[in-house]
Amino acid sequence: MKKVFLSFVFTLLSVLGFAQTEWIVDPMHSSVNFNIKHMGINFVQGRFDKFDGKVSTEAANLDNATFAFDVDVNSINTGTDMRDKHLKSPDFFDADQYPAMSFRSKSITKDKNNTYILKGALKIKETVKDVSIPVTFGGITKNQQGKEVMGFQAKFTVNRLDYGIKYDPTGAGVAKDVDVSLYFELVKQ
């Protein structure tokens, strides 16, 4: 009887040790930003104001975590209404036909210190491509309400032409490469 009880306890501890924890994006403390060269001499910065996502973890770090994020293309904000309207048009994102961009993780590997390499599928318009994104894990703490929160940031570059954003294909006026910076704070569920 004692062996059966010990087996039960070890099984229970094993299951609890691998329980998934869900973390949901806190939009008030997160941002999705981009930076693109204009006319070869300057940069235009922008952001997407509406996005959501979640991370599922097995521990108090990003080891074996899964990521799922969606961005509302209509929330693009460069600070200039005329430019934002053009970016939503078929010349760029075609927001009426493709209202969201998404990312779904496939794997994450610990690099060094608090950095990871996150691999997954990035979908923009109708194109899905695998990307590799360096992620810096900020850690876990408690917020003012006593809830556990997790933070991380990621910076990477995408070639907009790879995703069917073909306006100015030479890149002379609007560069081909877009630098993306993500800052996420997520609340434990």
- Per-block mean pLDDT, blocks of 10 residues, the chain (189 long): 48 53 97 96 97 95 96 98 98 98 97 93 98 97 95 98 96 96 97
Give the residue carrying structure tokens 């006593």. 146
Q: Which tokens hold the place of 37?
A: 């060269």
Domain residue spans of the chain: 19-188
Q: What is the dihedral of CA 27, 120, 136, 17, to 10 degrees?
A: 90
Rounded-to-integer distance, Cα 22 and Cα 38, Å? 39
pTM (two decimals): 0.87
Q: What is the Cα gyration radius of the chain?
A: 20
CATH number of 19-188: 2.40.128.110
Q: Which two tokens stand for residue 155?
A: 């910076």
Q: pLDDT tens, 60-105?
A: 899 999 999 999 999 999 999 999 999 999 999 999 999 999 999 9
